[in-house]
Structure 1
C-alpha cells in the first residue's frame, strides 16, 4: 500500500548537496543499468549556466532530487531520483511539479527527458503529461556490458 506524505519540502540545492545527491542516486539507481552519474559529473553539470538542483526532504530526511537545465526555451530533466524508502509516496511527483514550475519561471515552453526502457518512472512521466517522442537503441550500458534502450519524452509547458 502506498501512502502520500503530508509534507514534502523542496528547496534549491548546490555543490554542497552532492553528498546527499550521491547517496540517493546510489540507492535509487540499479547499477545493472548504468544510469547513475558520478559525483564529478554532477559537480561539472552544476557549474554550467542554466542548471539547477532541486532537493526534496521529508521530516528532515533527504527524499529525492532533480537536476535540470534550460537552453533557450527548452528544459531538459537530466536526473530525477527518489530514495527507495520514499517511493510511491508523492515525492517524485512533487519534484517533477517543482521542475515544471521552475521551468516556466525561467521562460521554458517545453520540458524533455530520457529514461531507460522498463524504468518504473515512465508511469510518472506519462501521468504527468509527457509523450514519448523517440527512442535511442542500446543507449544505456550496464555494468555487465548489457545494452538497454532509452526513450525520449517531451511535455509542452506553455
Structure 2
C-alpha cells in the first residue's frame, strides 16, 4: 500500500465519491447516498468531507457534521480494492482529530447491523447505544436495522 493522502473534499469531487460508493456499498442494503444528497449536505454549516487518495486517486472518503459540541460521522466509504489497508482507519482518525479541533465532545454514527465496519468503530472506542429498526430499505423493499454508536472525545 502506498502513502494515504488526506485532503479536503467538496462538491467538485462528486464523481469520485459516486465511484467509491458504487464500489463500496452493496445496493441490497440501501446505504449509499445520491450525488444530490452529498452535494446538498456539503452546503450546510458545520459539514466537511475528507478524501483519502492513493497515487492521486480517491479511494475513500468521510462525510461529517458538527453542531456545537456534538458531531456525526454521516458517511464513510472505502473502495474494496484497498480494503483492510488502513484507509478506513486513517479516515476515521482524521474525523476524530477534526472533531477534537472543533471542540466536539461526542461523536455519533449509525451503521447497518452486522456491517463489518463495526470492528473498526469498536477499535476506536465507539460503543453501541441504540437500534433503529428497519432503518435501511433496499430497492427490493427489504429492511435492515441500524445500530447507533458514539464515542466520548473529552
Q: TM-score, normalised by structure 2?
A: 0.98
Q: Tell me which residue corresponds to 2:147.
A: 151
Q: Distance between the aligned counterparts of 2:119 and 2:145, measured in 1?
A: 17
Q: Tell me which residue corresponds to 2:98.
A: 102
Please, which runs of 5 or more residues in structure 1 have no aligned partner?
A: none
Moved >2 Å (runs of 4+): none
Work out which of the residue numbers 5, 11, 14 in structure 2 matches 1:9. 5
CA RMSD, Structure 1 to Structure 2 (Å)? 0.8
Question: Offset at 1:34?
Answer: 0.4
Secondary structure at the aligned position of 1:144 is classed as coil
Secondary structure at the aligned position of 1:149 is classed as strand
Contact kept, 8 Å, 2:2 with 2:55, in 1: the verdict is no
Q: Tell me which residue corresponds to 1:51.
A: 47
Please, which runs of 5 or more residues in structure 2 have no aligned partner?
A: none
Work out which of the residue numbers 26, 29, 46 in structure 2 matches 1:30. 26
Q: Distance between the aligned counterparts of 2:95 and 2:17, measured in 1?
A: 16
Question: Offset at 1:7?
Answer: 1.4
Question: Offset at 1:38?
Answer: 0.3
Q: TM-score, normalised by structure 1?
A: 0.95
